[in-house]
Structure 1
Amino acid sequence: MTHTTTPKYGPALIGALGLLSMVAPLATDMYLPGFPLVSGDLQTSQASVQLTLSLFMLGMGGGQLFWGPASDMLGRRRPLLAAGALFVVSSLFATMSPSIVWLCIWRFIQGFSGCAGVVIGRAIARDVSHGVQLARLFGFIGIVNGLAPVLAPVAGGLLIPHIGWRGVLWVLTCVAVLMLLASVFVLGESLPATGRVRGGLREVGSMLGSVMRDRSFIGFTLMQVFGFGVLFTWISSSSVVLQLVYGLDERQFSLCMAIFAVGTLASGVLNTRLVRRLGMWRLLVTAVVFQACCAVVLFVVVSATDAGTGSSAPALWALLVLVSLAGAPFPVIIANSTALGLGRQRRGAGIASALMGASQYALAAAVTPMVTITGSISLHTVVAVMLACALVAAFAALLCTKESRTLHFG
């Protein structure tokens, strides 16, 4: 496929969009098991190392507000290539950071540039597919978005003992190069000139206001954002909880995260098989309600038993089962909330995608300081934040109008 050809729905497009959506979660989470090593190598505190994650998330959120509208005005291809090149450069320099300050700077730029694959990838999907086809495409992307943040720490835990945390960043640099190559050789321009925003920033602002006044779009966005909050709260805290509180090593940590990934994969596959039969709305509501119920049980168990102390193996396994159940619905949530939300936006898909993504990563950036509000990461605080996110996601369903729940779009 040449760069002038509009991408067509098929294996090449699906694979390329999956890669674009995977890169940012990998860059977020792959070096999490190396946090204790980063702290020692750069002679800094754990709080400063956690800051590299928060800054990456801020870059992810802010960058989507830039790249999404840019792709509506300039087309999808040029912003995607520019961001891909910047992502490669920032990933390369992050591997050579001499201090925590430089690591923070390059991680922020990584987030700012890497998010373009996520936001523009969703807009490309909306450009080239519709209806159930769009739901299934987002279902695949949802599986990737659910698995990548879970499997990234697993891969990191297996690699770090052999190549260190800088070696993991080198691996991410290679993945960034693959993303850029996919953008160059697989993804053509999906937004014709006639469909672009021509009124400059004024029209962008007008369309942004229109999207934000769409009550149902806000409902779908909140379900996605806070559903992700449940998943990310655990992922961002798991390294400290499992390694420092429970005393697991990198390989044991990787095994625990692999267990967590099983439920995520199963729910994503189930979603793609059931979406035509049950519909997007029914699957979405079932997922957020199930997640909320699991979060309630998790909170009660951790509060009432010694699972909060990490003093026994049975408590650890009980924790892993409940956390896995609470995180499993996320691929269903992101696939159907994205398809229903973006399906309402015939123009300005990049802007709408940017709002969804920016909100998601803004919450992710807030999660780290929330779980360390007591001065250190506490398991009780972690599950409390997970519960709060799950309840907001469930209640957000009430914002969606009856018409939006049964929407058929083309």
Structure 2
Amino acid sequence: MASLHPSAPKYGPALIGTLGLLSMVGPLATDMYLPGFPQVAEHLHASSGAVQLTLSLFMVGMGLGQLVWGPLSDIVGRRGPLVAAGAVFAVASLLAALAPDITWLTVWRFVQGFTGSAGVVIGRAIARDVSGGVELARLFGFIGIVNGLAPVLAPVLGGLLIGLIGWRGVLLVLTGIAALMLVASVLVLGESLPGERRLVGGMRALARSTATVLRDRSFLGFTLSQVFGFGVLFTWISSSSVVLQLLYGLDSTRFALCMAVFAVCTLVAGSLNTRLVRRVAMWRLLIGGLLIDVVMAGALLVVVLAWGGTLPPLWLLLVLACLVGAPFPLIMANSMTLGLARHGRGAGMASAVMGALQYGMAALVSPIVTITGSVSLTTVAVTMAVCALLAALSALVCAPESRSIAGLR
């Protein structure tokens, strides 16, 4: 592994916890906030479309921000941009909670997304700076568990908080979490990128770094396998409330219980990956996870189609949904590690491309699922199956040389 900055954070629980916390920005700032949409519309006298725009622009900010903060951190270092963006993120969260009307709420939500993305993209780059090989895969495995759990648990937590403290209270809770992220970043995450490994040469160097990343076939293959794998997970998460509560008639308590079971399956799969990666090649683990996804998503689609216009038994749907979603931490950890393996220099740019495409997938999935005007179980199953197949093909077709990447077995 390349030389580190003297103040670089050491691999350990503090680093893992801080990077995991930073990776939760997206789910916490979106899914905790979703149950409060009706309250926002009522209190700010806004249309449902205007309230939806506050979420859409947050996602736009998350995607665009990663394309700015990642490359910037390759040039000036990781710590400065991370701390500066974290401070603005905390302030924007507070101002969003205090917004007097829908216009200002929309503005501050965009700023939230743009600055909050720094923790996500720079966090991945820091992980690549301070570790490599199996150690990096284990680190991404822990982060993958968080990425799998947070979108599942955040809406449940948000629903509970909305009833207790309202939508402004939820944003104030997010402000507190943002402050915690900032403090943890300052105390735990020292500078990890030494001067000799930074990009020198301004825009020309940045253009060369971008070209290097985009010309790397294995990087693109692994990135797309992660992005489409996320598409499988996000399709279920974004539609689960409608499917389980409207189509199956579950109340909020039983819905929360079902999502808790889903979260436990994700946790178990992620924990299994952190143990297996020491003994099994990452390429094999990735392909194994992707094939499980394809088979289970295909089985889910067959079951849904077999029941025709009626709903399959709830227990069968939940078992298949858990088996489809559980491999995501395994897919994410190994695809990220393999994708970033050859981009120690320029890790910020590589991380930015990964993150921007992932949020692009999130923005694409929701309208696809509702393409018929409402969420149907068939559309959900088809979308999950297509994403699973594309994830597997991306790894198999676009990254054949990956098995020979040095140090990754």
TM-score by length of 1: 0.92
Q: Which residue of 2 aligns with 1:347?
A: 345
Per-residue CA distance 1:86-134 (angstroms, 9 max, x = gap): 2112211222334444433322222211111111011111111112111
Q: How far apart in 2 are the matches of 1:377 and 1:104?
A: 26
Distance 1:155 1:292, change over 3 A: same
Distance 1:365 1:101, change over 3 A: farther
Query: Is the 2:23–2:119 contact (alpha carbons within 8 Å) kept by the matching residues of 1?
Result: yes
Q: How far apart in 1 are the matches of 2:79 and 2:107?
A: 26
Q: Which residue of 2 aligns with 1:105?
A: 107
Q: What is the CA distance between 1:332 and its match in structure 2?
A: 0.4
Q: Which residue of 1 aligns with 2:133?
A: 131
Paired amino acid for 2:305? S
Alignment of structure 1 residues 9-408 onto 2, 5 Å = 9-44=11-46, 46-305=48-307, 315-408=313-406
Query: Is the 2:218–2:401 contact (alpha carbons within 8 Å) kept by the matching residues of 1?
Result: no
Q: What is the CA distance between 1:237 and its match in structure 2?
A: 2.1
Distance 1:108 1:320, change over 3 A: farther
Q: Which moved more, 1:78-87 or 1:100-109?
A: 100-109
Q: What is the CA distance between 1:395 and its match in structure 2?
A: 0.8
Q: Which moved more, 1:239-248 or 1:60-69?
A: 239-248
Query: Is the 2:158–2:170 contact (alpha carbons within 8 Å) kept by the matching residues of 1?
Result: yes
Paired amino acid for 2:66? Q
TM-score by length of 2: 0.92
Aligned CA-pair RMSD: 2.1
Distance 1:208 1:121, change over 3 A: same
Query: Is the 1:161–1:250 contact (alpha carbons within 8 Å) kept by the matching residues of 2?
Result: no
Per-residue CA distance 1:162-190 (angstroms, 9 max, x = gap): 22233222211111110011111111100
Q: Which moved more, 1:88-97 or 1:13-22?
A: 88-97
Query: Is the 1:91–1:173 contact (alpha carbons within 8 Å) kept by the matching residues of 2?
Result: yes
Q: What is the CA distance between 1:284 and its match in structure 2?
A: 0.4
Q: What is the CA distance between 1:400 and its match in structure 2?
A: 4.2
Q: Which moved more, 1:109-118 or 1:370-379?
A: 370-379
**Unpaired stretches in structure 1, ≥5 consecutive residues:** none
Query: Is the 2:221–2:399 contact (alpha carbons within 8 Å) kept by the matching residues of 1?
Result: no
Q: How far apart in 1 are the matches of 2:180 and 2:171?
A: 14
Give the SS at the match of 1:278: coil
Q: What is the CA distance between 1:397 and its match in structure 2?
A: 1.5
Per-residue CA distance 1:200-254 (angstroms, 9 max, x = gap): 1111111111111111110000000010011111212223333333333333322
Distance 1:199 1:309, change over 3 A: farther
Q: How far apart in 2 are the matches of 1:54 and 1:232?
A: 15
Paired amino acid for 1:67? W
Aligned-pair identity in percent equals: 68
User: In the comparison of the two structures, how many residue pairs are matched?
Assistant: 404
